[in-house]
Amino acid sequence: MQIATENPTWGYRRIHGELVGLGHRIAASTIWQILKHAGIDPAPDRSDVTWSQSLRSQAAVACDFATIDSITLRRFYLLFFIDIPTPTVYLGGITEHPTGTWTTQAARNLFIRHADQLADAGALVRDRGSRLIDAFDEIFRTEQMKILKTPIRTPVANAFAERWIGTLRRELLDRAIIWNQRQLERLVVDYIEHYNSHRPHRSLDQRPPAPTRTPEQAPRPPPSREIDALQRTHQRVPTCRLTSHDRVSGTHTRRLPLDSAPCRRLPSANRHTQPRSVPRLIRPPIRQRKGYRCPIVQLLSTRYRRTRTSRTTRPWRGCRGHLSVFCQRAARIRDTHEARGQ
């Protein structure tokens, strides 16, 4: 690992050859495995420095123009600045006719408003547009910042600014209709405030660039009914094994413990007079509940309500057929049970 650190241009094979020359008998795959577990990449990836890493090391600030078309076919130009180490966005201004004088004044306003946030900036990344004149660059040079101009027709060199333009279009402009410059300024100001203080960023471990409050200070949302139901202990789950009588009749007044020891039957009572300490599962038999009616009485009363408004003078005539059928079925069931018992 010391050889790989001191010689960044040496690959795995070169390190293996040097060790063999020194008299060490080791396989090349072993060297590859050791360096891979140590987090040391091959020579090309170890020696090269990416453009984004260079910009972050210099604490550069990128600037660019974003074009926005309104519903009335008017085009607006939005000048913005983005701090690359901490992707904080600053609005330069919005106009229909960007000129060199206008951009120079926007640069002055940037340092008047955000001089403290840009005190550590070391470079400015910009394209070669004609609107960014020498007076514009001179303002940044007075702040001890270098001017890094991107190559011609190479937007990837200013990738941070180009990516923010895409984010602005996807999250704001594609969801709103722009009517005039005043409305556009209000929307962009609100979105930049949301982008800097609330929107999570993957490069910052899902945190905003300039959060107004920490996650510990954020208010906790009220729990929903589903979460409350999961957190509370469900009282309707029986703690003892139910008997066959309880499964058939639907009452949970007679229960056996898990060790199959007999237990005394709990007294049945009306559900409105039961104390709160008794679980809901302990309910009285169905015939002792309030509002219980015999099925035959319900059948007769229902049939009577249907026929009492008819013109006939015998309202109970329609119930005789149903009652006779019911009695016949009951007799068949009784005879069947008697035959099985014999």
Q: Where are the domains of the chain?
A: 2-48, 52-204, 237-281
Tens digit of each residue's pLDDT (9 = 90 or more) over 227-279: 555 455 444 444 555 555 544 444 444 444 444 444 444 454 444 444 554 44
Return d(Cα 19, Cα 39) in angstroms, integer.
Answer: 20
Is-contact 251 283, C-beta < 8 A? yes
In this structure, what are the phi and psi dihedrals at residue 3, rounded to the nearest 5 degrees?
Answer: -65, -40
How many C-beta atoms lie closer than 10 Å to residue 51's C-beta?
13
Position of tokens 């009285």? 284
| CATH of 52-204 given 3.40.190.10, 3.30.420.10, 3.60.10.10, 3.40.50.1820 | 3.30.420.10
- Could you tell me which residues are beta bridge partners of residue 333? none
Q: Give pLDDT tens digits for 15-64.
A: 888 888 888 888 888 877 887 777 776 665 555 567 777 777 677 999 99
State both tokens at 114. 């955000």
Check pLDDT > 90 for residue 71: yes
* Model confidence pLDDT, tens digit, residues 296-341: 555 555 554 554 444 444 444 444 555 566 667 777 777 777 777 6
How would residue 2 be classed by pLDDT, with cut points 50, 70 and 90?
Answer: confident
Bridge partner list, 143: none
Length of the chain: 342
Query: In this predicted structure, what is the pLDDT of residue 315?
Result: 46
The CA radius of gyration of the chain, in Å to the nearest whole number, is 42
Rounded-to-integer distance, Cα 86 and Cα 179, Å: 32
State how far the Cα of 64 lies from the Cα of 31, in Å rounded to an integer.
Answer: 47
Tokens linked to 95: 């106009």
Determine contact, residues 134/126, Cβ cutoff 8 Å: no
Q: What is the pTM of this model?
A: 0.54
Beta carbons within 10 angstroms of residue 18's beta carbon: 13
